[in-house]
Amino acid sequence: MPKRYPPEFKRDVVTVARRGDLSVAEVAVDFGVAEESVRRWMKQADVDDGIKDGQTSSEQAEIVQLRRDKRRLEMENEILRRAAAYFAASTLPK
């Protein structure tokens, strides 16, 4: 599993890379991260800052949370459906 970096660290890396004093490869080596990670962080920062069109980080986080909530609610519905069927079966006349 890839290593997770804090948002502040990513923001600092992107700031240094955007300055243009160093190439992306040099910035990656200086911070000890993969070059492709720096490129991805820069692309996402461009979207978050409104420079490019796309899904912002906050929108992505909201979608992830909504999917989790949906999955939980579907599980709860299934449990209630099974419980209702169980209790309905036990109350049928014999």
pTM confidence score: 0.69
Per-residue pLDDT tens over the stretch 78-93: 999 999 999 988 876 6
pLDDT of residue 47: 94
Angle at 40 between CA 42 and CA 13, to 5 degrees: 50
Q: How confident is the model at residue 94 (pLDDT cuts 50, 70, 90)?
A: low
8-35 per-residue burial string, b: 16 or more CB within 10 A, e: under 16: eebeebbebbeeeeeeeeebbeebebee
Q: Which tokens belong to 85?
A: 């069927």
**Arch. (CATH architecture) of 1-54:** Orthogonal Bundle (1.10)
Per-residue pLDDT tens digits for 15-74: 999 998 999 999 999 999 999 999 999 999 999 999 999 999 999 999 999 999 999 999
Which residues have C-beta within 8 Å of that of residue 66, sequence separation ≥ 6? Answer: none
